[in-house]
Amino acid sequence: MKFCPKCGTRLRYRAQKPNPVLVCEKCGTTQPVEPSVTRPEEIAPEAGEPIKVVGDKEEKIKTMPTTNIDCPKCGHGTAFWWFLQTRSGDEPPTQFFRCEKCGHTWRQYS
């Protein structure tokens, strides 16, 4: 993944001859393609990393969707939520909530 040194926009692969380049669609800056990124699929957008454990990466919580649910601890009405596969793959994933206000985390038993 390469970014434009001028404006920070992600560079797009452009197959042109004799050598393909990475081009910034915003400001037009081009960069030569390095040997490690010579194929378009190698600079495809990265898949989102799966969220692993509760409280592992706090900063990732902030990007999660929120829902209107009452926190059992402080009574705040909005919480982040996500699904987590807790055991074997044939069991349904567990839904977790984290209070937006106090950070209390709980799971929903189905």
Applying CB under 5 A, the residues found at the interface with Zn ion are 4, 6-7, 9, 24, 26-27, 29, 71, 73-74, 76, 99, 101-102, 104
Distance in Å, CB of 88 to Zn ion, minimum? 31
| 30 or 85: CB nearest Zn ion | 30
Distance in Å, CB of 106 to Zn ion, minimum? 9
- C-alpha pair distances (Å), 97 with each of 6, 7, 48, 72, 82: 40, 37, 20, 10, 7
| Residue 51 structure tokens | 């969220």
Distance in Å, CB of 29 to Zn ion, minimum? 5
Q: Contact, 94 vs 82, CB < 8 A?
A: no
Q: Contact, 81 vs 68, CB < 8 A?
A: no
| Residue 92 structure tokens | 């349904």
| 4 or 43: CB nearest Zn ion | 4
- C-alpha pair distances (Å), 109 with each of 96, 97, 106: 9, 11, 10
Distance in Å, CB of 100 to Zn ion, minimum? 8
| 28 or 92: CB nearest Zn ion | 28
| 44 or 102: CB nearest Zn ion | 102
